[in-house]
Structure 1
Amino acid sequence: MESGFFCEKCGMIKARCICGKSSTKRRIYTKISKPNISEIKKSYPNVDEEIVENFPFSEPRNGQFEIITRIKDAIDNGYRYIILEAGTGTGKSAIATTLANIYQPAYILTMTKQLQSQYAIEFGYPMVKGRGNFTCRDSNFDDRCDSGTCQTVPSTQNFVCDFGITKSPFEEGNFAFNDAHGTPIYFRSNERCNYWNQKSRAVESDITLMNYDYALLELAYVQHFGKRSLMILDEAHNIEDKLMRRMELSLSNKMLEKDVKKSIPRSMLKFQDPKEWIIFIQSLYQDYKDISLTKMPKNKADRINRTKLRLSELMTNLEENPKNWVVDGSDGGITFKPLKIDVYANDRLFRHADVCLFMSATILDQDLFCKWLGIRPEEVYFLGIKSNFPASERPVHLKTVGPMSQRAIKRTAPKTIPILEKIIEHHKYEKGLIHTHNYKCQQYIMKQIKDKRLIDHKSTDREYKLRLFEKSKDPLVLVSPSMSEGVDLPYEKCQFQVIYKIPFPYLGDQQIKNRKAQDPKWYAYKTVMTLLQAYGRGMRAEDDYCETYILDGNIKMLFNNRLYKSLVPEFFKEAIVRD
């Protein structure tokens, strides 16, 4: 075993990070030494040597080599898209790592920076994050790189950062990377900017970790990274949401008045037909084109350029496909949102690799998944792996009080309190998680149940409260509307959970309302997917145990309504306990 540090500032994993003497947060990691390949070959003589040699651990989990073999065969047979639906416990990260090693250069995309860091810690790959995650070496005030001197000083001052990058080498050995266009980039000195140093390592690495938000910005706009052989997209059921959010464009009166001395006429805020906005958007685009950037700080100039580019894209989209867009207006401004992203997904993401591997525990329906992402079924190889978690170790108890919909919740919510109190008392020595789906339900529970075991959070301190909950040895109960995904709570970290409210997408959002009207199956899909993701937070291994309670009577819809029923997988149905 090899021990060292994972530096959250510079992204390095080694005995001593590049930050040198500068103060930095470091986290001890354990890197598994190279497995004994000859021993694995003896144990698995029928497995391709290339798979064995690139597998990261000394022993595979049950079925891992078979999954990797089938995916490798599909890639070698010319499939461009591979979909792997496999539950927690399959070891998808080891599968991803093996395939990335075989088909490098590769990208591995994760939903969050936290998951990105987990991959980096476990497998040692370089990751790339935005400027806001790094401390500026040119500042004496511990500024982040997104507010450092190179970003905030006007271009007229001709500031040159000694730690930054240039297109001209100053001495041999200061090469940083070649960008996507083949242009060589160099460092100005041997002492390197923390942000650019981690990015240069990531660009030059054969395997790079990115989170989706960074990847969608970097690959489509910045373009320092080139096309790679393989892109592994973890938690792939969320790709559509990520692309929708990236393509949204919000225009606030406050921003417009500051940038171009304009505001949106109040009479226009009622316009819901996207075609009615085309002329106004064209006018705004011209206003942004006319802005002089010469005296602006770089970060502001970059924002202006991004806004200009986004306005240009929006003009094209509204002109070519206005029915695919919705307009959400308020007193403070306007937001344009796409209804579907099937025609955009390839250009924005998938074209940056020869082969895309989608991994998720909740694909649910591969045909719908492909349809919504604009993927042609004939290019897809689908592999579904059944859950190996015994149903008896992950029971689902239906303790319903009636529907918890917006119209009925005032009547049914009071009935939930005595049931919650009984559940909490029954698990008085165990930690638990209550999924509320929204902050209103969270605060209702916190006001009604005066128990010191219960803790909640705000949107601003979610990560802090989650860490507090995970590390505590007390039997805490975390009440949250936002822990259904990206949270790993095995064994004693969570031994019971409550689905307080079925997670129907919010119909007060015009985008969701219009999409449901166009495609009711999509709305059902999003509901079932979010429910199943929440269900999986506390059951993380074959020998784990976690009980789940459902209080919302709308759960019956998932078993009785045709649209929902077809999406609910057997592994969830078999866990239902008829109390």
Structure 2
Amino acid sequence: QKRRALAADLVVTNYSFAFHEMNYAGGLSGRSQMDDEGDLIEGETMKFTSLILTRHQLEQCQIEPPEYKTKLEAWLKWAEPTLGKVGKQLGELETRLEPFLEAEQEPPKSLMFELLHYQRLESKLKMFIDLVDESWVAELDDPERWQFKPTFVRRFGHLLTGHAEKILAMSATILSAKDWAWNLGIDDEVAFYRVPSTFPKEHRPVVYLPTANFSLKSANDESLALMVRVVDGLLDKHKDEKGIIHAISYKITRYLLEHSRHQ
């Protein structure tokens, strides 16, 4: 599927895949780019540049975290020598892999898993050394998981916008177009066009009808059953009209389809 996408004239993908493909694999670059829900780009850039290290990941590679794990300075000093250790071990694993490749034999799964663990850690450490500095926000209180993210993503906006000659970003929820462009580091290269809705406001009222809490922790059979009753009541009132029900998860979609009396 990936090969077909790269060979196609038009490719539809989510932001996460696009970031990784453009910056690591080299695919998808050089095309004209259409960014739907453009207001999400800043948050997606933050997600892509943020770095998470876990104790489990380090243990898989027999690497100890720094002694003072709640100090960013300790992590900054720790990263480079640790990358050297990981690189050395990675070289040894690749040497062990070579005979299997030359003989065109399938390597042991244990070797491949170990190699993958070290490759992932090496990638994260390189990113850490290249990007992280004292201006980053470090969340270091969790003894099992340490996260590092930039205060602003302005200097990383090019990780998406730098891969296309022309970009059309669309959004109905950007409050300040100038601030949006500044935050992505493209404030000198953007033209803004505000386009009115093609639907009269009388045809698109918003009726607020809070019914149940569908967060992961709160969603249960009781709240789902309540949701079905409310949806069925609305469908009863609009029997001869077409419409769309936008569910926020497959679980809710399946429950509604299985329990609604409107089939």
TM-score, normalised with respect to structure 1: 0.36
CA contact (8 A) 1:249 1:337 kept: yes
Higher helix share: 2
Task: Show CA shifts across 1:377-423 (max 9, x none).
Answer: 3x21111112243434444567xxxxxxxxxxxxxxxxxxxxxxxx6
Report % sequence identity: 23
Mapping 1:356-367, distance limit 5 Å:
356-367=167-178
CA contact (8 A) 1:260 1:287 kept: no
Mapping 1:300-339, distance limit 5 Å:
301-319=115-133, 322-339=134-151
Once residues 29 and 183 of structure 2 are traced to their aligned partners in structure 1, the CA distance between those partners, rounded to angstroms, is 26
Once residues 28 and 122 of structure 2 are traced to their aligned partners in structure 1, the CA distance between those partners, rounded to angstroms, is 23
Mapping 1:145-544, distance limit 5 Å:
198-228=1-31, 230-265=32-67, 268-271=68-71, 274-291=72-89, 292-294=92-94, 295=96, 297-298=111-112, 301-319=115-133, 322-346=134-158, 348-377=159-188, 379-396=189-206, 434=211, 436=213, 438-439=215-216, 442=219, 446=223, 453=229, 462-469=249-256, 473-474=260-261
| SS across alignment from 2:192 | strand
Once residues 205 and 52 of structure 2 are traced to their aligned partners in structure 1, the CA distance between those partners, rounded to angstroms, is 44
CA change 1:260–1:473 in 2 (3 A) is same
Once residues 232 and 388 of structure 1 are traced to their aligned partners in structure 2, the CA distance between those partners, rounded to angstroms, is 20
Mapping 1:79-158, distance limit 5 Å:
none
Once residues 199 and 29 of structure 2 are traced to their aligned partners in structure 1, the CA distance between those partners, rounded to angstroms, is 40
CA change 1:253–1:358 in 2 (3 A) is same
CA change 1:259–1:310 in 2 (3 A) is same
Q: Tell me the CA shift for residue 326 of structure 1.
A: 2.6
Once residues 435 and 310 of structure 1 are traced to their aligned partners in structure 2, the CA distance between those partners, rounded to angstroms, is 40
Task: Show CA shifts across 1:164-184 (max 9, x none).
Answer: xxxxxxxxxxxxxxxxxxxxx
Once residues 290 and 217 of structure 1 are traced to their aligned partners in structure 2, the CA distance between those partners, rounded to angstroms, is 26
Q: Tell me the CA shift for residue 256 of structure 1.
A: 0.7
Q: Tell me the CA shift for residue 255 of structure 1.
A: 1.4
Once residues 257 and 192 of structure 2 are traced to their aligned partners in structure 1, the CA distance between those partners, rounded to angstroms, is 35
CA contact (8 A) 1:249 1:310 kept: yes
Once residues 190 and 227 of structure 2 are traced to their aligned partners in structure 1, the CA distance between those partners, rounded to angstroms, is 51
Once residues 226 and 293 of structure 1 are traced to their aligned partners in structure 2, the CA distance between those partners, rounded to angstroms, is 32
Aligned to 1:122: none
Q: Tell me the CA shift for residue 329 of structure 1.
A: 3.0
CA RMSD after TM alignment: 3.4
CA change 1:469–1:236 in 2 (3 A) is farther
Once residues 255 and 20 of structure 2 are traced to their aligned partners in structure 1, the CA distance between those partners, rounded to angstroms, is 32
Q: Tell me the CA shift for residue 275 of structure 1.
A: 3.2
CA contact (8 A) 2:5 2:11 kept: yes
| SS across alignment from 2:155 | coil
Once residues 439 and 386 of structure 1 are traced to their aligned partners in structure 2, the CA distance between those partners, rounded to angstroms, is 36
Higher strand share: 1
Aligned to 2:241: none
Q: What residue identity is the alignment partner of 1:215?
A: A
Higher relative contact order (CA 8 A, sep 6+): 2
TM-score, normalised with respect to structure 2: 0.73
Aligned to 1:78: none
CA change 1:332–1:390 in 2 (3 A) is same
CA contact (8 A) 1:253 1:264 kept: no
Q: What residue identity is the alignment partner of 1:293?
A: L
Mapping 1:544-559, distance limit 5 Å:
none
CA contact (8 A) 2:228 2:260 kept: no
CA contact (8 A) 1:251 1:333 kept: yes
